[in-house]
Amino acid sequence: MSRGLMGFTRHSPLFTRHSLSGFTMVELVSVIVIAGILAAIAGPRFFTASTYAARGYADAAAGFLRYAQKLAIARHTSVTVQIAGDGLSLCASASNPCADTHPWPGPQGDTPYRVDVPSGVTLAGSAASVGFDDQGRSGGVTLTITGDTTRTLTVEAETGYVY
């Protein structure tokens, strides 16, 4: 009896016809059809632009508010963030709208520093502005950002913490 690869004979259980079989055509077509149905139903939910726009704007607004707080602490003065339906603006005074002759610059030096609301997203605040004092404390405000879902940003009054 001749020995094959690794000492197995041709009649060993490893070389039986059953162990060499694969998937049937029916099984393959079934899996492809199910995957196609799932992609057609679930795919658009994950790939709409408003999903990313609302989440991205919520993150940008949180970063904007944190920057305003850090700027107030670093400059030892008060900084105000104006809240409007079209976006957030960084100001040195609480006048509404932000009409400063020399508004605070952004992190990249851009003046005036604004974060505009993208299309398909709305912004509403519990106040028209929020100010940070030289120690980073604020008057407290809640921002509601609505797109595919509603996201809420809160600025704590005593600490200025943004979440």
Q: Are residues 24 and 57 in the same domain?
A: no
pLDDT of residue 60: 95
Q: Are residues 41 and 22 in the same domain?
A: yes
Give the pair of three-digit tokens for residue 47.
């790939």
Q: Are residues 30 and 101 in the same domain?
A: no
Is the per-residue pLDDT at 23 higher than 90? no
Containing 30, the helix (H) or strand (E) segment is helix 25-46
* Least trusted range by pLDDT, from 22-36, 57-71, 82-96, 128-142: 82-96
How far apart are the C-alpha atoms of 18 and 95, rounded to whole Å? Answer: 82
pLDDT tens-digit series, residues 43-95: 777 766 777 888 999 999 999 999 999 999 999 998 999 999 899 998 887 66
* More confident call, 76 vs 97: 76
Q: Return the CATH number at 126.
A: 3.55.40.10
Q: Are residues 32 and 12 in the same domain?
A: yes
Containing 141, the helix (H) or strand (E) segment is strand 141-146
Q: Are residues 147 and 102 in the same domain?
A: yes
pLDDT tens-digit series, residues 143-154: 999 988 899 999
How far apart are the C-alpha atoms of 98 and 112, rounded to whole Å? Answer: 10
Whether the Cβ atoms of residue 148 and residue 51 lie closer than 8 Å to each other: yes
Q: How many domains does the chain have?
A: 2
Q: Are residues 20 and 93 in the same domain?
A: no
Give the pair of three-digit tokens for residue 110.
């851009």
163 within domain boundaries: no
